Structure 1
């Protein structure tokens, strides 16, 4: 059983990020109607609920905010113009990443074991993207959210859900590594010095043949459906340990 403890939004540090609009590239357009990507990371970390709420959660919130200074598109929204123009990502001051804090009484050992188990047991730890909003000229779609679930005295699970247009697996892993570094060190100078931060200049990607426009002309009339998590899949999930 999973219990909701807190629901909040995490923004970049005040005054650190201005309004930005980023066009979708030729590599992004194809994923506009694709289902979200979901990741779960389990950590063995025995701690009490009190320590989790008083120490771990505040640190994760603070470091997440500082990480979003460098990964602000994750706090943005994807705008799909009602006029059928190509979508863009827009970040405005105050936009945030939805963060859910939860507690679970499920069997941590079973969830992290190397044998087949019921796939449906994992869905309570996967965050759900907030629903789209419809403005005067756009359909506004959140692109990223997080859930941190405590298994008291056993461990913690961090769940990530992202729209595929905002990043592939490599992009999200880069964010996770940056967040982990800032959480550990308490600041971001090491990331800046190592020049390991993301680059958002979309104009380095050239589409001289206009392929992005061709693809969007095929996709723009498809109705956007807010995806929901599949439940009662009657499937199993298994992990395997491969020897080196």
Structure 2
């Protein structure tokens, strides 16, 4: 059972700026209608409930407030105008704050942090709900962030957070969490945050010579605005599991492929082909005219023209999509087929600056293409290692991405926390589909050799 001990709101310190308003770039606008991103970070940190409430929680509150001084948009709101001739903005004003829930749980920490399939619904005990949307002055006021800290006495601590994607991409949100963790670990002193790490909010850094800002908004404004859900998507009717591809596994997969591929391509191609095979195993019909689709986003701060600073806080993503016939993807050579196609798209679009930037500026076309298509997506990236956020308790034991629960299929991808290194793929599937996937995934690796 999980018990909520406290709900509070944490504002930036009084020394913070009184107001900050950020217009949405055309790269932010793309995410206005998406559901919140939900993540859990599990830490091994045995302590008593008394220590948690009297020492850890006050430290978390203080360090969070100090961090928000540098990340004011996190404490702010999305203002979505009633008159869509005007574009939304993210605004912070003095008095805004981040909701924080404090809880304690006697549930099985070892079970929750395992890799084998577990009921997906149980993880929502540790996830905060973003506060409901309210009506403001000719606009909807949409909170964009929420936090929860849950103690498992004598075992560990879980930090759960939810954010509206319009607030920022993985680079931005992971940067905020790592900054909070650093300030907490170092005690909140003046040396807890280096000037080099300060986030940059200037939307003028997103070059828009062709006026894509207005074009994208013309598309997105036609979609009726629906506030983020006021409840979690449970029952999910799903189970969650984590699949590790250690460095040896990845090297074996790479050597079976006729072209040179990266670890990202090896991991996602293998998981995608296993998903197709498991779909066939449970009788799932192919969609999209017999085609299976795989989509992923690309962080493009360094590819933009001119380049955007790595510390830019917001969305700076492009997209890519791969299509393969289901019969080929689910066939004996499915992994190689997937790897060749994903690799080709990366070479021809992602690694060619002019092509990936064109995709940045062509969200309306991409949005239309995605309508009605059941695509497997990727959430997260090993490049942004959320599990490395150290609050003073060491690196995380486990990271779970709850936003992959849903109607469509998606996988999370992160660095493995195990001794063998490599990558971890997280999946949320119906029980029968997961049983089939587990067997296919293990058998496929067993058959791979140098």
TM-score (norm 2): 0.53
CA distance in 2, matches of 1:106, 1:190: 34
Instruction: For residues 15-64 of structure 1, give each alpha carbon's deviation from its aligned partner in whole angstroms, at most 9, with x where no partner exists.
Output: 32221111001110000000100110000111111110000000000000
CA distance in 1, matches of 2:191, 2:27: 31
Show the 5 A alignment for 1:185-224: 185-186=186-187, 187-193=189-195, 195-224=196-225
Q: Does 1:240 align with 2:243?
A: yes
Higher relative CO (CA 8 A, sep ≥ 6), structure 1 or 2?
A: 1
What SS does the corresponding residue of 1:159 show, helix, strand or coil?
A: strand
- In the other structure, the counterpart of 1:116 is 117
What SS does the corresponding residue of 1:41 show, helix, strand or coil?
A: strand
Instruction: For residues 98-141 of structure 1, give each alpha carbon's deviation from its aligned partner in whole angstroms, at most 9, with x where no partner exists.
Output: 10111111110000012111111101111110001111311100
CA distance in 1, matches of 2:89, 2:134: 15
Instruction: For residues 132-188 of structure 1, give each alpha carbon's deviation from its aligned partner in whole angstroms, at most 9, with x where no partner exists.
Output: 111131110000110001111111100010000101111111111111110011225
- In the other structure, the counterpart of 1:71 is 71
What SS does the corresponding residue of 1:58 show, helix, strand or coil?
A: helix
What SS does the corresponding residue of 1:63 show, helix, strand or coil?
A: helix
Runs of 4+ more than 3 Å apart: none
CA distance in 1, matches of 2:237, 2:54: 38
CA distance in 2, matches of 1:218, 1:80: 15
CA distance in 1, matches of 2:25, 2:220: 14
- In the other structure, the counterpart of 2:382 is none
Size of the aligned set, in residue pairs, is 243
CA distance in 1, matches of 2:190, 2:172: 18
CA distance in 1, matches of 2:221, 2:171: 27
- In the other structure, the counterpart of 1:18 is 18
CA distance in 2, matches of 1:25, 1:4: 38
Which of these two proteins has the greater Rg computed from alpha carbons? 2
CA distance in 2, matches of 1:77, 1:167: 13
CA distance in 1, matches of 2:123, 2:87: 35
Instruction: Give the alignment's Cα RMSD to 1 decimal.
Output: 1.2
Distance 1:54 1:190, change over 3 A: closer
Higher helix share: 2
Show the 5 A alignment for 1:1-244: 1-84=1-84, 85-186=86-187, 187-193=189-195, 195-225=196-226, 226-227=228-229, 228-241=231-244, 242=246, 243-244=420-421
